[in-house]
């Protein structure tokens, strides 16, 4: 079968959540028996593999050109290239295509938390998402929660939706050299700057924890873009005056794995997540995880869960891990087993099966 993958949004070195999922699927699908064509921006995807890469005349960073081409031209190109199915792993697919298509929707944050997105961004998603969902033969999601939300929001039958949990890259499955020996200890959070990510709640919890633990820890935030950092720092200084806070900015997979391994724990305070891959990446590295209940599908019983609305409960969960070595050791062992349930080959098999089904439906 001939599969096309819309990777017009991928930029070499870009490794946020959706990009990480797309790269894992490109590597996996191109290593199978199917013929794979990857549609990329002018700079390419930066990925190697047994696939043919077709590059557009514009950069992936040119969002206006990219979306216009995806919505108006990609479906035509899929037909000319004789695809059996077009796979769009980044939330949108062409509204009209002469070949069957499948779209992966990760979450509906712009609809659930509109105040966290600019007005034009909200209009963009409200206008285009319904067309993508109707046009696609199948809709893939990364969690059971997202599947139910997509079906309910767009009024589609559950039989049209397939859940494929993302996988954990092999680079995270290495033994932990010396858990939490650094002083002061590091509490790691991997997040972007958005209200629903609940960084303000984390800063408030950090202030509570600092009073209890005599500030014997650093809070490290990974993933904040440099342009967002001043605003985040200002909020942190207001909610946690004098807090020991560090920013790393976006990290490569190798850098992120090293951060996980040196951290005393990963904390994810988010009000809302499609799935929450950093939780499993940290577990694979042998790092204890404390997370909000929004991460329960990813975390299972291998993390301490708390209510994101309660900073005191969040602080208490972090304190338990810092002060109880036996609990931290149990979380490390349970986490490694939990992460092992999400290999990339399992995710790739799930997506490949869905794409073959979408092609048959065409």
- Give, for all 362 residues of the chain, the pLDDT tens digit: 999 999 999 988 777 789 999 999 999 999 999 999 999 999 999 888 899 999 999 999 899 999 999 999 999 999 999 999 999 999 999 998 889 999 999 999 999 999 999 999 999 999 999 999 999 999 999 999 999 999 999 999 989 999 999 999 999 997 665 544 556 789 999 999 999 999 999 999 999 999 988 768 999 999 999 999 999 999 999 999 888 899 998 898 899 999 999 999 999 999 999 999 999 999 999 999 999 999 999 999 999 999 999 999 999 999 999 999 999 999 999 999 999 999 999 999 999 999 999 999 86
pLDDT at 180: 47
Q: How far is CA 124 from CA 105, 118, 129, 167, 321, in A?
A: 15, 10, 8, 29, 42
pLDDT at 192: 93
DSSP 140: E
Tokens of 9: 């949004």
Taking the model in full, what pTM does it have? 0.93
pLDDT at 152: 96
Question: Number of C-alpha atoms within 13 angstroms, CB side, residue 80?
Answer: 6
pLDDT at 175: 66
pLDDT at 183: 62
């Amino acid at each position: 079968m001939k599969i096309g993958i819309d990777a017009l949004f991928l930029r070499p070195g870009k490794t946020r959540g959706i990009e990480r999922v797309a790269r894992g699927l490109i590597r996996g699908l191109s290593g199978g028996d199917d013929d794979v064509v990857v549609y990329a921006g002018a700079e390419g995807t930066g990925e190697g593999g047994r696939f043919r890469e077709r590059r557009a005349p514009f950069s992936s960073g040119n969002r206006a050109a990219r979306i216009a081409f995806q919505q108006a031209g990609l479906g035509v190109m899929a037909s000319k290239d004789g695809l059996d199915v077009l796979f769009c792993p980044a939330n949108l697919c062409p509204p009209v295509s002469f070949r069957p298509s499948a779209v992966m929707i990760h979450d509906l944050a712009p609809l659930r938390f509109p105040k966290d997105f600019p007005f034009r961004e909200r209009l963009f998603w409200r206008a285009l998402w319904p067309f993508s969902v109707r046009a696609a033969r199948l809709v893939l999601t990364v969690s059971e929660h997202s599947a139910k939300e997509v079906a309910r929001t767009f009024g589609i039958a559950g039989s049209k939706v397939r859940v494929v949990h993302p996988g954990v890259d092999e680079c995270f499955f290495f033994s932990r050299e010396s858990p939490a020996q650094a002083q002061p200890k590091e509490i790691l959070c991997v997040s972007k700057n958005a209200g629903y990510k609940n960084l303000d709640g984390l800063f408030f919890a950090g202030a509570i924890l600092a009073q209890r633990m005599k500030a014997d820890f650093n809070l490290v935030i990974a993933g904040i873009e440099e342009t967002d950092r001043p605003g985040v720092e200002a909020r942190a200084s207001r909610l946690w005056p004098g807090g020991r806070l560090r920013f790393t900015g976006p990290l490569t997979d190798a850098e992120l794995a090293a951060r996980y391994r040196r951290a005393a724990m990963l904390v994810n305070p988010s009000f809302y997540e499609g799935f929450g891959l950093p939780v499993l990446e940290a577990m694979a590295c042998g790092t204890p995880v404390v997370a909000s209940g929004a991460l329960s599908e990813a975390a299972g019983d291998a993390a301490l869960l708390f209510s994101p609305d309660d900073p005191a409960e969040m602080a208490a969960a972090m304190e338990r891990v810092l002060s109880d070595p036996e609990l931290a050791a149990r979380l490390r062992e349970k986490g490694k087993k939990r992460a092992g349930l999400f290999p990339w080959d399992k995710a790739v098999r799930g997506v490949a099966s869905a794409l073959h089904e979408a092609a048959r439906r065409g």
